[in-house]
Amino acid sequence: MDAPNHPTITTKGVLRPTLVTVNLERLTQNYRAIQQHVGNSRVMPVLKANAYGHGLVEVARHMAGLGAPMLGVAFLEEGILLREHGIQMPILVMGGILGDQIPLFLEHDLGLAASSVEKLAQVDQAAEARGVRARVHLKIDTGMERIGVHYYSAEALFEASLACKHTDIEGVFSHFANADAADLSSARLQIERFEEALRFYERRSLPTPMRHMANSGAVLQLPESHYELVRPGILLYGVYPSNEVKRTIEVKPALRWTSRVVYFKVVKPGHPVSYGSTWESDHLVRMVTIPVGYGDGYFRAMSNRAEVLLGGKRYPVVGRICMDQFMVNIEWDSAYNGDEVVLVGESGDMRITVEDLANWADTIPYEILTNINTRVPRVYVRSGE
């Protein structure tokens, strides 16, 4: 239905009715709760994958304002983008690197992960050629089998680092495979392996570089892994990394995802809805169309499973989710073009969480957040705005 006097909705210049609203005060509260929990360990916010869907540059600026000591990203391009937007604080790129990328790391003063003797030598040579000092964190594989030198072969990498003349070894790190599980035996084995490798420095009577290993799950469950630095990712944004993890820190979601009704119609019984005709009603119903779809990251796998909030009530998504639109069955309730529809967040006393979407899509909350497409505008507010 069209409401005759319903206003056109615009938010800070955003014309698209579908948007993500990020509450910066929630991010502040989450960051401080994590910092309080880990005590003397420093907190490095992880901002990879567009800050888990929250917006890389704006979240980086906010974290800088909170006094975060450094930022973590996955790719060189993320680090360069932050530099181009004036972020001057230390940035560590944690992913694997190619040799021809090294000059760009040095040009933009980005910390990089050296995961082999050969890569470390390339970094040192490139730094010499440019007349600068490289900033490196040595990556040790203790059980992920992803990147990093194996813990039992780490001595060669440590030896090579001592010979570098143009490289500062700022840290040594590893990554957990199962720190968000109920059974922490695998994670504790990884800690043992990490510390076994690090005894190299003790045997040589050398100072150990800054150690870091704790992701969100380990921040919550493994205080023995906090070392000098922790690396919270999804936890910073107010989402817990798994259903099994102990919730030793209270965090709250910073992201709200909404859209608006753009079409209203009455659908007769026996008239299927959307591609594939996977849903139809056996009675007369009212249907509304929402201008968001799998092209925005609202997964097609949630078809006929997801729910949304409209006017403080839950309604089912029916028919297959399209690239740019989906349909909602409101039975015989009323709705108007322009009415807010909540995909993630609260409406009245009702709430839909990122975990709900993950369950409907048979995936994990990480994938839901990081797949909210960049064509969905981000709006930043503080509590009360």
Q: Which residues are catalytic?
A: 48, 275
CB atoms near residue 14 (< 10 Å):
15
Q: Are 212 and 230 in contact (CB under 8 A)?
A: yes
**Cβ-proximal residues to 267 (8 Å cutoff; 6+ apart), any chain:** 273, 281, 284, 285, 286, 287
Judged by DSSP in three states, 325 sits in coil
Query: Alpha-carbon dihedral of residues 263, 264, 267, 272, nearest 10 degrees?
Result: 30
What is the Cα–Cα distance from 78 to 98, expressed in whole angstroms?
15
Angle at 330 (CA atoms; ends 327, 335), nearest 5 degrees = 95
Computed over its alpha carbons, how large is the radius of gyration of the chain? 24
- Burial label for 262, CB within 10 Å (0-12, 13-18, 19+), is middle
Cα→Cα distances 283→280, 308, 329, Å: 9, 21, 12
